[in-house]
Structure 1
Amino acid sequence: MLGKKSIRVNGADCGFEAILLGIVTSVGGFLFGYDTGQISGMLLFKDFVNRFGQDQGDGTKDWQPIIKSLLVSLMSIGTLIGALSGAYTADWWGRRRSLSFGVCIFIIGNIIQITAMNSWVHMMMGRFVAGLGIGNLSVGVPMFQSESSPKEIRGAVVATYQLMITFGILVSNIINFGVRSFEEQDSSWRIVIGLGIAFSLPLGIGILFVPESPRWLAGRHDWDGARMAMARLRGLKHDPTNHLIERDLKEMRASLEEESAVGVGSWLECFTGKPSNHPKVVYRTFLGMGIHFLQQWTGVNFFFYYGASIFASAGIDDPIKMQLILGAVNVFMTFYGLYVVEKYGRRWPLFLGAIWQAAWLAVFAGVGTALDAETNRTVGIVMIVSACMFIASFAGTWGPIAWVVIGETFPLRTRAKQASLATATNWLGNFLIGFLTPLATDGIGFAYGFVFVGCNIAAALLVWFFLYESRTLSLEHVDLMYADPNVKPWTSSKWTPPGYITRKQRDETHGASTGLDDDATRIGSSDTSRMEKKSFGGVGSARPSEARVEDASRVV
């Protein structure tokens, strides 16, 4: 029987420290959102423009499109590099220390920004350094959460990362709205940036008081540490030899022994699938990269980076207030997204969300292009409604679910590197949005929105034809599903694990009481010879004994 320090959440046994871990790590998402949302309003602050803007020839200062692009977008290059390096730091130092390192880099970047006086290059480099820290966190947080969460709540836990991103954006909008009354003073934008340091401290310090990832510890053969981490996450700190913990260790050891038999996955393996010939490694690499690139090119940061400027050009009287409204819609609908990801899965919400977003962006771009928004108040209202409907859909679908996908799609052998590649691609898309938007809107105006219409349609097609439904499956079973040549993405929701009647219910008539090892043994003994002869997506032969990853439901 579990001790008093554990609770049950959606059928999963969790200790207090598991809840604390989820809360602390979610601050990483908040910092991501806060840094994303703050620049939109700051670009309009008079002191900020006077210090870092360019002379216009009439004694005033304003932004040249290329300078504005670089100032906003170079942070995304930093996050891209930080995301790639996050794979190394997470594997070298462990998930916890890697996150603390990311927070330290973020703080250094913010200090550089605060000390900027009149050089836009100084400010830009501060954003770049802060981006290095955010990129590190954007890899480490979802990975840490997915490795330490039971499958019953894994989707919701990882989706809290996106929830906190939206909350960070909203808070930055609120602070921008509050300090605009003294926008002619340098304290306005320095306060906005400085508060980011204060918000980062709970993560940097708090992460040191939660257990390390049991999977990472087991991967380094620290079985005593893995046992104690599992016990703490289950609320069994004073009973680490409990049969539940021993069962978890047994299953994890079997998985790691088989994974280690073929070595550690390399960057090249993510793109070739060799030498392990793990099922659909290349397929999943490009799937994760595609989903995360298109998450950015749905157009969300078109509004969050430049929303205030966009609404100002459309004749809206108070563009910062409109940005605040978008931020509120974003937060509210992300709560709905946490429900959607567990209730309806991954495929249908992503597919329908992309179609819905394409429709409202078409309205936004069509109205803004056909009519003069500055002289027609109705046009401005329609554009605001369209933007809100777009943000509502993104927050409930593509915002949180894209992060869930990279937390559960990749095999253990190459998971850290594939997650880094997907996240880096996300930041590449982020950079391109930040860099190209001022140039594009300066040239084609609101017609730029039609580009995002096409990208959303492409996103819907990618999901329909390539993404497998992984709702309620353990990470091991997700791997087995991708290895099954008879399963297609559009039929994957009907796939059930070997030895199960449904995705949740075991077939007790087949000796399932012994756990997942029985499933793996059955597959290895009866199906290996058949499956080894089949080719999967050009990657090579599938070997079920090499396709196993640890079951997330067993970690906590």
Structure 2
Amino acid sequence: MFGDLSIKVKGADCGVDAILLAIITSIGGFLFGYDIGQISGTIVFDDFVHRFLFNGSPTIKSLLVSFFSIGCLFGALAGAYTSDWFGRRKSIALGVFIFIVGDAMQVTATKSWIHLTMGRFVAGLGIGNLSVGVPMFQSECAPREIRGAVVASYQLLITIGILFGNVVCYFMRRHEQDSETWRLVIGIGALYSIPLGEKARQSLSRLRGKSKDPSNVLVENDMHEMREVLALERQTGNASWIECFSLKSRVPKTRYRTFLGMGIHFLQQWTGINYFFYYGTTIFSTAHMKDPFLVQLILGAVNVATTFLAVYLVDKFGRRWPLILGALWQAVWLMIFASIGTATNHLTSVPSSYGVVMVLSSCMFIASFAATWGPIPWIVMGETFALRTRAKQASLATAANWLGNFLIGFLTPHADRGLSYAFGYILASANLAAAAVVWMYLYESSLLSLESVDIMYSMHDIVPWESARWVPPGYVTRRVRDEQRFRRLSIQEMVEMANKDASVKSDENAGQNAGQRSQV
């Protein structure tokens, strides 16, 4: 498409088509984001409430909103099979088709909330499938120098979808008494699709900006690594679901990595982001805001703007520290939001300055999430798992994400009625727990190939908080490869060398300790 047009990223050639790959595949994220953005406004449209919510029933509202996430959960589990059976690209196309069917079911609903809810469930099946296939496809295809940024684009398109949904609802609110309004708002989501498909070598050539020179050394090195991976995949086969939780797996730390991925993705939802995006219009309506639709639009704009920052941060500062600091920052602003909301909840007249602070708190929370906890868990999911177990572990991690999403969607209306703004304290506590989990268990994987990440997790003498200093065998640094040494190594030999180096280092440390004891 763009010939030999390429850009330099950290000293490596990366084609403009890499950016297009990120955008096109991330349309799946846009579809998910649009559903979040539109449902927040749709559930307060007069005609919609009259038809389906029976004047605001919290139970029906909970089920209607959250059943989308249940569909996503089952779609994510099914994604483990479709990604392996049909390949990543066809699996993505299947997800889009299912989403369109679900949207059609919603648009044709008349007065049955069950009909509408099942439509959201089916649409969720499609989005859940996409949420597994897209990050894996991007992680496996993108050059490692920009892998974090490419996978972050999935979250970027989610935020753009949310903002677009907010904008549509903002302008359509004037016609909220017409049934065509909410049908049009929902139906817009079905207008998008994902065009994919290139041959492996051509894809790598275009991603590296070398479409007219597929024999380029950069492409050859990438192809060499991919051949090694495929050879190992044929040797190791595909893992079972049980193996993902087994201590006797053929892959080191399999259960460790499974629970790590599931924990991070579950906590991503319990940071509280969809507390604002699913029910933001409702929340700010009860906070004496004159125009809650406008507030929601502001939050969506902040979400998009700061996600662009994430595209820069994830490959500049890694994965661990942005997640840790982001969670701590989010906890602070959630507590401020909850404190002000609780203090003013029963007042008949609230100074406008309090409302401004609540909106500011929400914006600061969302800015942090968009730059850290929004994209990075998806990046981690694409990097953490070994090849043998990757599809199923990614599916489990994504299912945990959708489980957390469902619980937020289902419990918020009831929590809003019982706890009101004090629910923010619970979400703040979840952010503190998320920071602790990342500090204690997540290894730093930035600038490493997927194979090198697997080697790092196989090492027994590396602790997560020191993992950023680890360099794979055959490399001078994480950025610079020792070409002569690397060309002689297969991936299996790299694993053996890494273990040997670790053993030597352990013996040296033991010798030093023994010498120190003898001197004493």
Does the CA contact (< 8 Å) of 1:7 and 1:15 recur in 2?
yes
Moved more, 448-457 or 245-254: 245-254
Corresponding residue for residue 371 of structure 1? 344
Q: Is 1:75 paired with 2:52?
A: no
Q: 1:472 Cα deviation (Å)?
A: 0.9
Change beyond 3 A, Cα 1:120–1:386:
same
- Structure 1 unpaired stretches of 5+: 55-61, 212-224, 535-556
Code of the aligned partner of 1:48: F
Does residue 7 (structure 1) correspond to residue 34 (structure 2)? The answer is no
CA contact (8 A) 1:512 1:519 kept: no
Matches within 5 A, 1:281-300: 281-300=254-273
Contact 1:294 1:455 in 2 (8 A): yes
1:271 aligns with 2:245: yes
Q: Is 2:332 the counterpart of 1:339?
A: no
| 1:194 matched residue in structure 2 | 187
Q: SS state of the match for residue 13, structure 1?
A: strand
Matches within 5 A, 1:482-521: 482-507=457-482, 511-512=484-485, 514=487, 517=489, 520-521=492-493
Q: Does 1:145 align with 2:138?
A: yes
Distance in 2 (CA, whole Å) between partners of 1:526 and 1:162 is: 34
Output the CA distance in 2 between the equivalents of 1:526 and 1:344: 25
TM-score scaled by length of structure 2: 0.91
| Cross-structure match for 1:100 | 93
Q: CA deviation at 1:504?
A: 1.2
Identity, in percent, stands at 58
Q: Would you say the 8 A contact 1:313–1:374 is kept in 2?
A: no
Change in Cα spacing, 1:17 to 1:382, as seen in structure 2 (3 Å) is closer
Match runs of 1:357-436 below 5 Å: 357-372=330-345, 374-377=348-351, 378-436=353-411
User: Contact (CA 8 Å) 1:75, 1:129: kept in 2 or not?
Assistant: yes
Where does 1:119-130 land on structure 2 (aligned, <5 Å)? 119-130=112-123
Residue deviations 1:312-331 (CA, integer Å, cap 9, x gap): 01111111110001001100
Where 1:394 maps in the other structure, the secondary structure is: helix
Counterpart for residue 32 of structure 1? 32
Q: Which runs of 5+ in 2 are unaligned?
A: 507-520
Superimposed CA distance per residue, residues 260-291 of structure 1 (whole angstroms, 9 cap, x where no aligned partner) = 32322111111105441x11111111011000
Equivalent pair of 2:442/2:464 in contact (CA under 8 Å): yes
Instruction: Report the Cα distance in structure 2 between the residues aligned to 1:267 and 1:522, rounded to whole angstroms.
Output: 28
User: Please, which of 457, 464, 469 is the counterpart of residue 432 of structure 2?
Assistant: 457
User: Any conservation in 1 of the 2:22–2:154 contact (CA below 8 Å)?
Assistant: no
How many angstroms does 1:512 deviate by? 2.5
Change (3 A) 1:325 1:374: farther
With over 3 angstroms needed to count, the CA separation of the structure-2 counterparts of 1:374 and 1:105, relative to structure 1, is farther
Of residues 273, 285, 301 in structure 2, which corresponds to 1:328? 301
Indicate the SS of the match to 2:7.
strand
Deviation (angstroms), 1:20: 3.0
How far the C-alpha of 1:498 sits from its partner, in A, is: 1.9
**Superposition deviation, residue 92 in structure 1:** 0.6
Give the Cα–Cα distance (whole angstroms) in 1 for the partners of residues 240 and 491 of structure 2.
28
1:183 to 2:176 alignment: yes
Query: What residue number does 2:513 align with?
Result: none
Deviation, structure 1 residue 233: 4.3
Paired with 2:402 and 2:8, the residues of 1 have a C-alpha distance of 33
Give the 3-state SS of the residue equivalent to 1:8 in structure 2: strand
For the residues of structure 1 that align with 2:486 and 2:71, how far apart are their CA atoms? 49
1:150-181 Cα deviation digits (max 9, x unpaired): 00000000000001100000000000001011
| SS of match in other structure, 1:261 | helix
**Structure 2 counterparts to residues 525-536 of structure 1, below 5 A:** 527=499
1:472 aligns to what SS in structure 2? coil
Report if aligned partners of 1:6, 1:13 keep a CA contact under 8 Å in 2: no
Q: 1:439 aligns with which of 402, 411, 414?
A: 414
Alignment deviations for residues 476-530 of structure 1 (CA, whole Å, 9 cap, x no partner): 111111111111111111111123332112357xx43526x26753653684698
Q: Match of 1:128, SS?
A: helix
Counterparts of 2:154 and 2:336, CA distance in 1: 30
Which residue does 1:352 correspond to in 2? 325
SS of equivalent to 2:6: strand
Counterparts in 2 of 1:120-269, with a 5 A limit?
A: 120-198=113-191, 200-201=192-193, 203=194, 206-207=195-196, 210-211=197-198, 226-231=200-205, 233-234=207-208, 240=214, 244-269=218-243
Answer whether contact 2:326 2:369 (CA < 8 A) is retained.
yes
Deviations 1:39-82 (A, max 9, x none): 1111111111111121xxxxxxx111111100110000000001
Aligned positions of 1:40-119 closer than 5 A: 40-54=40-54, 62-119=55-112
Structure 1 residue 370, shift from structure 2 partner = 2.1
RMSD of equivalent CA atoms = 2.2
Paired residues in the alignment total 501
Answer yes or no: is the 8 Å Cα contact 2:476–2:482 preserved in 1: yes
CA contact (8 A) 1:166 1:334 kept: yes
Q: Which region of structure 1 is more displaced relative to structure 2, 45-54 or 521-530?
A: 521-530
Residues 514 and 311 of structure 1, relative CA distance in 2, 3 Å threshold: same
> Using the alignment, how far apart are the partners of 1:342 and 1:75 within structure 2?
32
Alpha carbons 2:236, 2:388 under 8 Å: kept: no
Relative to structure 1, the CA distance from residue 498 to residue 529 in structure 2 (aligned partners, 3 Å threshold; closer, same or farther) is: closer
TM-score, normalised by the number of residues in structure 1? 0.86
Secondary structure, counterpart of 1:512 in structure 2: helix
Amino acid of the residue matched to residue 444 of structure 2?
Answer: E
CA distance in 1, matches of 2:186, 2:307: 25
